[in-house]
């Protein structure tokens, strides 16, 4: 099975665009290349003749056999042909899908899904631009009120070099659905190409207002700002683009029928990664759970599932996945580091220590593991050893992260070295005046020295930066509130 090409749509009501070259290869199955336009001459029993089902995942092969049997039983059923097309489409069997949609449309020319789905398949094949345009035009004629149909027709027109017509379709899509982000980006790109950067900016800023990591919008807006001489804004956009989402989600309820037919672990995983990249960890976790069930020995899938769980605040579930990853790939550093971090966060520093020491055996210069080892030692009560680790790591790296200075200061305070502790917290606040943890620790020092008013002020600064139960508890104990 080939990797995803051009547009493959996401599950439920979502779709993503994966940029890549179009695949112009056709099936080796002779009956597909020479099939008659007559429905009666298509033999359903031969539909899978050119496919090696044994090379597919069992659930994919079973689904293909199921929909072929339905077509064989009811060869005059548009729904049966359409279902076969959707399954073939979802699993990138392009020629099979094209043939099935053609038969479905002949049997039911009033159903918008068949030309709409056929247009998507034809756009992937890329061998017949006129047929692609015709399919999407038929779909638009059947459902002129469906915004994604105008978007897809616009893309096909743009591919065919019909720029003015494409712009009209993008504008129609936005009239029907002002929040259809791909239409906004496509229209903005056309405006940029026509030297109308000023008109493109509000379209792109509107997209980024709701999807701040939209990769295409960031790239286009940066270009627009540069053309308008707004160089500082362009630089800020370029910084944001470094963490842009690779895939951008939008709604296409019709095409979701195709996506949900994709039962191969590869397709499910691709969809889940797109969800994860776009910040939808809940949908990502659902997909990755299926992948892990199908591929229990896949450390990459488990690692991404752990990330989705962490994003959802499900630390226990993330921990279980990372433990499995470490079992499957014991020499992989990043996952072991994440596992140690979770264990420390769950107040289990003694369990994190072996993982951190294992990392440093393999990568003695890894600063994050070294700093985290100091944290684990301090939290585990080995304060002298933790401080020694902090000092040694500072000597070797020279760069101390703020979270380390806060831990370092806390350890010094526990030893009664209050002035040295204050230096660590003040160093953090000098570069990050709103650092909530440093303000909280500073408050503890001041309270311990009997300066209640200054302590309250520090706790309130901490709460304004990042409300937290510990700071709230100290204020309550002092009988004070922040104004």
* CATH class for the domain made up of 334-399: mainly alpha
Topology match between the domains 7-251 and 418-483: yes
What's the CA angle centered on 303, arms 352 and 405, to 5 degrees? 40
**Average pLDDT over every residue of 314-341:** 95
Is pLDDT above 90 for 235? yes
Averaged pLDDT of the chain: 88
- The per-residue pLDDT for 40 is 44
- The per-residue pLDDT for 413 is 94
- The per-residue pLDDT for 124 is 94
**Average pLDDT over every residue of 160-178:** 97
- The per-residue pLDDT for 278 is 81
**Average pLDDT over every residue of 152-169:** 97
* 431 exposure class (CB count in 10 Å sphere: 0-12, 13-18, 19+): exposed
> Using 50, 70 and 90 to split pLDDT, how confident is the model at 208?
very high
- The per-residue pLDDT for 431 is 92
- The per-residue pLDDT for 415 is 93
Q: Does 471 or 12 have the greater pLDDT score?
A: 471
Task: For 95-138, write each residue's pLDDT tens digit.
Answer: 999 999 999 999 999 999 999 999 999 999 999 999 999 999 99
DSSP 66-135: HHHHHHHH-TT-HHHHHHHHHHHHHTT-HHHHHHHHHHHHHH-TT-THHHHHHHHHHHHH-S-HHHHHHH
- The per-residue pLDDT for 247 is 63
Distance CA 102, CA 93 (A): 14
Q: In the chain, where are the structural domains located?
A: 7-251, 334-399, 418-483
Q: Does 412 or 21 have the greater pLDDT score?
A: 412
Q: What is the 3-state secondary structure of 7-37?
A: EECCCCCEEEECCCCCCCCCCCCHHHHCCCC
Beta strands in 190-293 (DSSP E): 249-251
**Average pLDDT over every residue of 312-327:** 96
| 81: Cβ contacts below 8 Å, ≥ 6 apart | 71, 100, 101, 103, 104, 107
Phi, psi of 251 (to 5 degrees): -90, 135
Task: For 62-72, write each residue's pLDDT tens digit.
Answer: 999 999 999 99
Which fold is adopted by the domain 7-251?
Answer: 1.25.40
Distance CA 297, CA 255 (A): 32
**Average pLDDT over every residue of 328-335:** 94
Is pLDDT above 70 for 153? yes
Task: For 13-36, write each residue's pLDDT tens digit.
Answer: 233 332 333 333 333 333 333 333
**Average pLDDT over every residue of 173-199:** 96
Rounded to two decimals, what is the model's pTM?
0.71
- The per-residue pLDDT for 42 is 64
Domain covering 418-483 in this structure, CATH number = 1.25.40.10
Which residue matches tokens 């902090």?
390
> Using 50, 70 and 90 to split pLDDT, how confident is the model at 41?
low
- The per-residue pLDDT for 334 is 94
């Amino acid at each position: 099975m080939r990797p995803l090409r051009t547009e493959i749509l996401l599950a439920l009501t979502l779709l993503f665009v994966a940029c890549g070259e179009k695949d112009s290869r056709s099936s080796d199955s002779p009956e597909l290349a020479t099939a008659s336009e007559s429905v009666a001459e298509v033999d359903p029993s031969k539909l899978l003749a050119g496919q090696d089902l044994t090379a597919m995942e069992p659930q994919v092969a079973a689904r293909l056999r199921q929909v072929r049997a339905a077509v064989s039983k009811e060869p005059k059923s548009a729904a049966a042909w359409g279902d076969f097309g959707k399954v073939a489409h979802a699993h990138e069997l392009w020629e099979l899908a094209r043939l099935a949609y053609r038969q479905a449309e002949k049997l039911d020319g009033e159903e918008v899904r068949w030309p709409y789905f056929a247009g998507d398949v034809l756009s992937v094949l890329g061998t017949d631009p006129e047929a692609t345009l015709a399919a999407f035009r038929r779909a638009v004629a059947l459902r002129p009120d469906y915004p994604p149909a105008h978007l897809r027709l616009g893309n096909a027109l743009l591919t065919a070099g019909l720029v003015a017509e494409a712009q009209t379709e993008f504008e129609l899509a936005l009239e029907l659905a002002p929040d259809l982000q791909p239409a906004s980006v496509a229209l903005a790109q056309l405006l940029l190409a026509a030297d109308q950067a000023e008109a493109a900016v509000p379209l792109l800023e509107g997209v980024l207002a709701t999807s701040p990591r939209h990769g295409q919008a960031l790239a286009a807006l940066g270009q627009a700002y540069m053309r308008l001489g707004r160089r500082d804004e362009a630089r800020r956009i370029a910084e944001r683009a470094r963490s842009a989402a690779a895939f951008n989600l939008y709604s296409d309820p019709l095409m979701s029928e195709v996506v949900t037919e994709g039962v191969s672990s590869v397709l499910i995983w691709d969809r889940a990664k797109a969800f994860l990249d776009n910040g939808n960890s809940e949908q990502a976790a659902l997909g990755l759970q299926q992948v892990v069930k199908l591929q229990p020995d896949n450390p990459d899938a488990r690692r991404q599932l752990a990330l989705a769980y962490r994003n959802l605040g499900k630390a226990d579930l993330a921990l279980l996945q990372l433990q499995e990853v470490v079992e499957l790939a014991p020499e992989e550093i990043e996952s072991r580091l994440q596992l140690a971090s979770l264990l420390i966060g769950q107040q289990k520093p003694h369990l994190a220590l072996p993982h951190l020491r294992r990392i440093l055996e393999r990568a003695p210069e890894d600063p994050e593991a070294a700093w985290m080892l100091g944290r684990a030692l301090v939290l585990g009560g080995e304060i002298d050893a933790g401080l020694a680790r902090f000092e040694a790591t500072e000597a070797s790296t020279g760069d101390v992260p703020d979270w380390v200075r806060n831990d370092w200061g806390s350890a010094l305070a526990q030893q009664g070295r209050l002035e040295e502790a204050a230096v660590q917290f003040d160093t953090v606040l000098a570069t990050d005046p709103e650092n909530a943890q440093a303000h909280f620790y500073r408050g503890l020092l001041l309270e311990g020295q009997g300066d209640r008013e200054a302590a309250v002020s520090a706790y309130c600064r901490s709460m304004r930066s990042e409300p937290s139960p510990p700071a709230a508890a100290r204020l309550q104990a002092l009988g004070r509130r922040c104004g």
